Amino acid sequence: MTESVSAIQAEVQGYRQRMDSLLLYGDVLHTAVGRAFVEMLKAIESAEAAASLRAYGQWFQALATRGESWPHHLLRQLAYADNAFTDQAQTQDVSSLPPALVQAARHDLAQLQALYQLGSDRLSRWVQMVAQLPQPPVTWTLADAPQPLPLAAAADWPTALPDLAQYYRRHGAGQLAQYHAFTWHQGTLQGIAFPDPIALDQLAAYDYPRQQLIQNTLALLRGYRALNVLLYGSRGVGKSSLVKSLLNEYASQGLRLVEVPKGQLQDLPQIVDQLRSRPQKFIIFVDDLSFEEDDDTFKALKVVLEGGVTARPVNVVVYATSNRRHLVREYFSDRPRPSDQDEVQSWDTMQEKLSFSDRFGLTLTFEPADQPTYLAIVKHLAQQAHLDLPPDQLTAQALQWATRHNGRSGRSARQFIDWLTASQTLPQA
């Protein structure tokens, strides 16, 4: 039997009351899709034909732009929700949480399940009735990828709360669940949607430092007190690529990477304080690290490396790369002479500069690539790229490339293979 407009209005009012009553999870509707959904229900409740059609079209467009269905979008927002319950559920069992918090979470899940079950075809029929259309508007349907959130298969969401809390403990919540890589910008963590996809198996040579860094990272993931690491060596040997490849290898085990620009190292204590209570493990990544003589930002790094009154968190390490073994620049004029009268303990000052790199628990050295190492990297990358080229020809072209371009290094090898792959694929001009 066809619903009357007044019956539709009453039912929509009930759904709007459900949304207004959300205590913890209200932010799941603060997206383009969620806001369009709310506006569509308002328009349908007002029974204005033109407004209902426009609002439905905007909701349809928002879903099509995101490339997901309404149920999948709602589940994804629940997976990334950041509120008092998701924050505490990451580190505490449900039985240890405040009863009022658990009760509020169960209440919200009941309301959200009703919205989840409100299908696009039903909304389309409501718009048809309000706008008096001969046919209902086109419904947005999509075969979504499987959703790991336990609510997807739950018949009753409130009773599935313990499983949801376990999901947050395993995967995190908020942007730490949504993103694996971050940058620190203007006092906040900003997620990186498309981090460098470099994988560990794409890297060749430098087996010893690579294995040392992997072992240290595994210690971090398993809850041991891992070491802060300085990766020192010539440019282009793959120091930064190695650190970034660890993220792609172990992100599923809870590893996260936070890149901090050198100019914002003074914020390191603040960053560490934000991360210490999280269940994930974090690499604070500082690339191309060095300091000028009068640069005070290294003091913030020193506090994080050595610790202060506040205990150093076991879920955070610093991985820094540098082309300099001694991170603070030293000049001959810095060296004390017997005639110097400016500072009594000038030798101590110089030694503090020279020993700053020693404050990293582990220093891994990457020697410049000699010819055999360079060619081994080229061969490894050529195999991964499935290049069909005789070995002697590959060697000759690789050496020629190194001579004409950036010398022998892992970076140069990668550039050569990228060029060779393109030149073999594209037609000759």
Q: What is 322-360 written as a DSSP string?
A: ES-SSSB---GGGS--TT--S-TTHHHHHHHHHTGGGGS
156 part of a folded domain: yes
340 part of a folded domain: no
- Could you tell me if 173 and 105 are in contact, meaning their C-beta atoms sit under 8 angstroms apart? no
Whole-angstrom distance, CA of residue 121 vs CA of residue 5? 16
Sign of CA dihedral 171, 172, 173, 176: negative
213 part of a folded domain: yes
Same domain, 320 and 227: yes
Same domain, 67 and 87: yes
**255-259 and 229-233 strand pairing:** unpaired
Closest CA to 86 of 171, 203, 213, 198: 171
Whole-angstrom distance, CA of residue 224 vs CA of residue 198? 26
351 part of a folded domain: no
Same domain, 280 and 219: yes
Last residue of a domain, one of 123, 153, 178: 178
Last residue of a domain, one of 124, 147, 178: 178
381 part of a folded domain: yes
pTM of the model: 0.80
335 part of a folded domain: no
Whole-angstrom distance, CA of residue 390 vs CA of residue 188? 51
* Residue 137 backbone phi and psi in degrees, to 5: -60, 160
* Burial of residue 200, with CB atoms counted within 10 A of its CB: 0-12 exposed, 13-18 middle, 19 or more buried: middle
Whole-angstrom distance, CA of residue 161 vs CA of residue 399? 61
Whether the pLDDT of residue 349 is over 80: the answer is no
Same domain, 37 and 78: yes
Same domain, 386 and 416: yes
pLDDT band at 389 (very low <50, low <70, confident <90, very high): confident
pLDDT band at 172 (very low <50, low <70, confident <90, very high): confident
Whole-angstrom distance, CA of residue 169 vs CA of residue 88? 9
Same domain, 73 and 121: yes
Same domain, 270 and 322: yes
Whole-angstrom distance, CA of residue 68 vs CA of residue 82? 21
Same domain, 9 and 155: yes
337 part of a folded domain: no
CATH assignment at residue 244: 3.40.50.300
Same domain, 139 and 224: no
How confident is the model at residue 353, as a pLDDT?
47
Same domain, 174 and 257: no
Last residue of a domain, one of 178, 207, 241: 178
pLDDT in tens, 272-312: 999 988 889 999 999 988 765 555 666 677 777 766 656 77
Mean pLDDT of 53-75: 95
pLDDT in tens, 184-209: 988 899 999 999 999 998 888 889 99
Same domain, 219 and 173: no
Same domain, 402 and 381: yes
Q: Which residues span the domain enclosing 396?
A: 371-425
Number of compact structural domains in the chain: 3
**316-322 and 281-286 strand pairing:** parallel
- Could you tell me if 260 and 286 are in contact, meaning their C-beta atoms sit under 8 angstroms apart? yes
